[in-house]
Amino acid sequence: MTLLNRPIRSFDASRISRSIGTVALSAAALLLLTSCAAATDGAAAENVLTVGSDLTYPPYAFLEGDTPAGFDPDITLALAEAMDMTVTYEDTRFEQLIAGIKSERFDVIASALYITKERAAEVDYIPYFSTGNSIVVAAGASPLTTIPDLCGKVVAVIKGGDIVQRLRVDASADCVASGAAAVDVREFTTDPEGTQALLSGQVDAQLTDAGVASTLESATDNAVHISSTALLYPIPVGLAVKKGNSDLADKLLAALESMKADGSYDALLSEYNLAEPDAAQVAQILGN
């Protein structure tokens, strides 16, 4: 099974189909299309791990043809192998994932599910990565590594995201307090539109999801690159199991620890420009 050291993908949204409901993979990466009914039956089958994931969200989870791809399929396939299980994916829209785990439609959610106190009342979490934001600049531009470096700069962000408030209000207030100009935030409907604005010189930088940023160098033939050196505004993310399913949670945690021990976990995080979750931040969010 080859999960690591692959070239970073560029993504063509036209290839991401919403019509395929379930794809089953063995831990040796043998793939077989199945029906949604078969996947539901598989949730109860011994040694089959049924994963609920929204396969429309690259680079975390998406379809390459008929095959689940991205960070979440990569890591759940590796976890299943460590547990000596096969894995089946149930393609489910994000807003239906928690309902699906509560009704036992699948065993675990792996779909870039942010850890929140509200969700923790409905599911049990296994923290498995942190995402956040990265600064992307044009090739040859002066590096911008931290949020204060964005003071006085024109910065592209995705419209309506939490990052708009963080830059326009919080970061800009800090800029002004330090005697610098505020961040000039330009909102775009999609991340690709923001990248195009960067390529055309309309903005100085783009602040985008770290996983998305990891794909941009290859997608633009190295016309842009990540200039930040750490995740900005990190957010912990968790696998989720049905509330009280401590047996599966313990098995997943043990499998994750085995990946950490053999180095495959760190390699996956590096490939997708992600980080290990901060235990203190998780505890703060959950009120522990």
Residue 8 lies in a domain: no
* Segment 92-120, tens digit of pLDDT: 999 999 999 999 999 999 999 999 999 99
Q: From CA 127, how far away is CA 130, in angstroms rounded?
A: 8
280 lies in some domain: yes
| Boundary-marking domain end, from 212, 232, 252 | 232
CATH number at residue 164: 3.40.190.10
Tell me the mean pLDDT in the region 245-261: 98
Instruction: Say how far apart CA 230 and CA 274 lie, in whole Å.
Output: 9
Does 101 reside within a domain? yes
Neighbours of 106 (CB within 10 A): 26
259 shares its domain with 177 = no
Residue with tokens 């995705």: 158
Please check whether residue 248 lies inside any domain of the structure: yes
**1 falls within a domain:** no
CA dihedral 283, 49, 78, 117 (to 10 degrees): -10
Alpha-carbon distance of 191 to 207, in angstroms, equals 9
Are 21 and 126 contained in the same domain? yes
Residue 178 has pLDDT above 90, yes or no: yes
79 — alpha (psi -120 to 50), left (phi > 0) or beta? alpha
- Which residue range is the domain that position 179 belongs to? 132-232
Q: Are residues 31 and 121 in the same domain?
A: yes
- In sequence order, which ranges of 91-215 are alpha helices (DSSP H)? 97-102, 117-120, 162-165, 172-177, 191-199, 210-213
SS (H, E, C) 122-142: CEEEEEEEEEEEEEEEECCCC
pLDDT tens digit sequence for 18-41: 322 333 343 333 333 333 434 444
Q: Decide: helix, strand or coil at residue 113.
A: coil
Q: Which of 98, 108, 104, 40 is nearest to 73 (CA)?
A: 108
Q: What is the pTM of this model?
A: 0.73
Q: Judge if 142 and 262 occupy the same domain.
A: no
Count of domains for the chain: 2
Please name the amino acid found at residue 212: V
Average pLDDT in the 121-141 region? 96
Boundary (domain end) residue, out of 199, 214, 232: 232
pLDDT computed for residue 18 by the predictor: 30
Q: Are 183 and 155 in contact (CB under 8 A)?
A: yes
Q: How many residues does the chain have?
A: 288
4 is a domain residue: no
2 part of a folded domain: no
Residues 66, 126, single domain; the answer is yes
